Amino acid sequence: MAETTYAKGLEGVVAAESEICRIDGEQGKLYYLGYSIEDLARYSDFEETTYLLLYGRLPNRDEMEIFSKRMRASRDLAPEILDMVRNFPKDAHPMELLQSVISYLSGYIQHRIQHSATCNCRDTLHQVVQLASVVAAWQRFRESKDYIQPRQDLSHGANFLYMMRGQEPDEYEGKVMDTCLVLHAEHGFNASTFTARVVASTLSTCYSSISAAIGSLYGSLHGGANEKAMAMVEEIGSKDRAADWVNRALDNKQKVMGMGHRVYKAKDPRAIIMEEFLAELSKRKADTRSYDILKIVEKTFRDRMEEKGKPIYPNVDFFSGAVYDLLGIPKILFTPIFAVSRVSGWLAHILEQRRDNRLYRPKSLYVGTQPREWVTMEKR
């Protein structure tokens, strides 16, 4: 019997079982291995969250100390990697650099792939740790500045800001950056994570799988929304213009970036945390422009949508770009920072895929020309 239906974009299709992430879109809840994103943001950090994702449980004190030391000892980049970053085409996007450098990294570590749940992908940690160093180094070279050696006494987020800016961030800024990485570390079978699992299902290496995932994240429908949300803020310019801008955009059927999510039918729980960070950072820096604009955009948009019976809420990207901006991070780094965080989740899914692997091989619904006779060149 011919197949006559399909799910465009695989919407609603259950592709595999997973123990890693649970998203309750109706209630606006997110869990990593059963732990709520609110608790992870409040009590954990990126290193501990990475351990949780890779090992499926929280570490005890001794395990965390050993793991943290290994992560921090892996931050520095080999001279060959720095040369690649320095000499990468100047007009290339940093996401193109990340996709290239993740494969290059595999040649500079002692790493023999073993296709099992206990392979030493968990031990090298270069895939997870060094993406942050690469992004920071690229920005330094872009500004014609010297590479900053990483520090092992700082959290992953604080060290990234230090390597990028050349100055140690204050305690609150370091906490915000590290928690932002926690918030973005994992989010179920999104496009880039599914890409990583598809490549892993061929028994390819974790580096190849992560490189493919970065390529997926680079797409504007996946990883670039917070950059566009910040561009929206800059276009609006002041809170006095925000409501009119939204109304014009909706009248012209223009998308308002950062509003709505394919999974969440309530406010994205990560957006709630990001909004709190933005409010506090705005007060500390005496700069509430972005916060004021975004809150008016949110209210105006939601009022218009509720008139149509369509309750739509902000997602994590709505506020995160403005948070990064206040941390001194240029817009071109917003999507690379997404990769710096999500790489932990990608690796967790790669390991899970290997544990009970089956090669992904979906079918397609053929809608092309039916069988026909070959026509010679003279008769075409």
Q: What residues are labeled active site?
A: 261, 317
Distance of CA 216 to the CA centre of its chain: 11
| List of residues 6+ apart from 311 with CB closer than 8 A | 265, 302, 305
Amino acid at position 56, single letter? G
**φ, ψ at 27 (rounded to 5°):** -95, -5
Cβ 278 vs Cβ 237: under 8 Å = no
Structure tokens of 233? 């803020």
Cβ 151 vs Cβ 159: under 8 Å = yes
| List of residues 6+ apart from 252 with CB closer than 8 A | none
At 356, is the secondary structure helix, strand, or coil? Answer: coil
**How far is the C-alpha of 372 from the C-alpha of 366, rounded, in Å?**
15
At 292, is the secondary structure helix, strand, or coil? Answer: helix
Where helices occur in 14-93 by DSSP H, the ranges are 37-43, 46-55, 61-73, 79-87
- The β-bridge relationship of strands 35-36 and 29-32 is antiparallel
Where helices occur in the chain by DSSP H, the ranges are 37-43, 46-55, 61-73, 79-87, 94-105, 121-124, 126-142, 156-165, 171-184, 191-200, 206-217, 225-236, 242-251, 269-284, 289-307, 316-326, 334-355
At 39, is the secondary structure helix, strand, or coil? Answer: helix
User: SS3 sequence, 175-206?
Assistant: HHHHHHHHHHCCCCCCHHHHHHHHHHCCCCCH
State the burial class of residue 331 (Cβ atoms within 10 Å of its Cβ: 0-12, 13-18, 19+): middle
- Please state, as a whole number, how many other Cβ atoms lie within 10 Å of the Cβ of residue 181: 25
Place of tokens 């004190």: 61
